[in-house]
Structure 1
């Protein structure tokens, strides 16, 4: 089991990185990263490999459009090892801005979104070496009114409700 010191160290490294992203500080964000970082937003395949590609990704597709001002982050769990941390969290926001990293080509809809994210963060020499970011894009698209869930095995914000309350009924099997 990781020590409290290791947890505090990894928390500080990642929190500094996220705060720079949220502040729209390109150079501050890049200063929190290892010399040859990579990022993959898995549902959209957007991100970058290497310092120049990461700089381009952040400057053109993330800084200034990371999340709208009303974003909230609700941590469900955080798991640690010597070289990485894994976050399970709920991110809630109103889609009021362009968000290329998450919704490329989709204009703001003004709709509310709650979605579960899994963020795997690699750490190398006290810097963020990589981020592998996963979320249920179908759930997001249902909430934005861009995907009709009828007849499909997808849900909208009900996925978040089920994480908050696992006793909720299953939407497809009715307890059987």
Structure 2
């Protein structure tokens, strides 16, 4: 069992090195010798140190818009795992391959909840499983047909849902 406060410090240093300092070397120093990173909605990431480093260098670190922001909603810390619920926001003014692979800038604002499930081995990160609603990203960037969005359970203001800012169960009335 790892020290929970140490796990939080490592996770915070990891995300700072990804998004603030944009330093692959420091990011990798927070991880085990054989980490796994999976961005589930886009099947991006890597298994093993070399593949994770390649993912960070080519597709993730330094590949975010200047206005990219993370806002913490909640964090749960267990014996060997952290679950972090955040709101991610950015203007899609550059290609962001880890969230919209092979899609050029749309100029649209994106704001979505994201959940990171982070596994630890000792005080080093062993795995990251990252989840978000890709349909919401596609709808906000106008890459999903608006007629389809109106008929499907696609919520374009998911953070509003988390904050209680939109009514729930509206899609059931459209049937």
Q: TM-score under structure 1 normalisation?
A: 0.89
Pairing 1:73–2:70 present: yes
Question: 1:67-93: CA deviations, max 9, x gaps?
Answer: 322122221111111101001111111
Q: Distance in 2 between matches of 1:97 and 1:124?
A: 35
Q: Distance in 2 between matches of 1:99 and 1:166?
A: 28
State the 1:6 CA deviation.
4.2
5+ residue gaps, structure 2, are none
Question: Are 2:109 and 2:140, in contact at CA under 8 Å, matched by a contact in 1?
Answer: yes
Q: 2:138 aligns with which of 129, 136, 141?
A: 141
Question: 1:29-88: CA deviations, max 9, x gaps?
Answer: 1111111000000001110000111111111111210x3221222211111111010011
Q: Which residue of 2 aligns with 1:171?
A: 170
Structure 1 runs (4+) deviating above 6 angstroms are none
Q: 1:93 aligns with which of 84, 90, 111?
A: 90
Partner secondary structure for residue 132 of structure 1: strand
Q: Which residue of 2 aligns with 1:150?
A: 150
5+ residue gaps, structure 1, are none
Instruction: Select the structure that is richer in helix.
Output: 2
Partner secondary structure for residue 16 of structure 2: helix
Q: Which residue of 2 aligns with 1:36?
A: 34
Pairing 1:9–2:6 present: yes
Distance 1:168-1:57 versus aligned 2 partners, 3 A rule: same
State the 1:135 CA deviation.
0.2
Question: Are 2:160 and 2:166, in contact at CA under 8 Å, matched by a contact in 1?
Answer: no
Pairing 1:128–2:116 present: no
Q: Distance in 1 between matches of 2:165 and 2:80?
A: 31
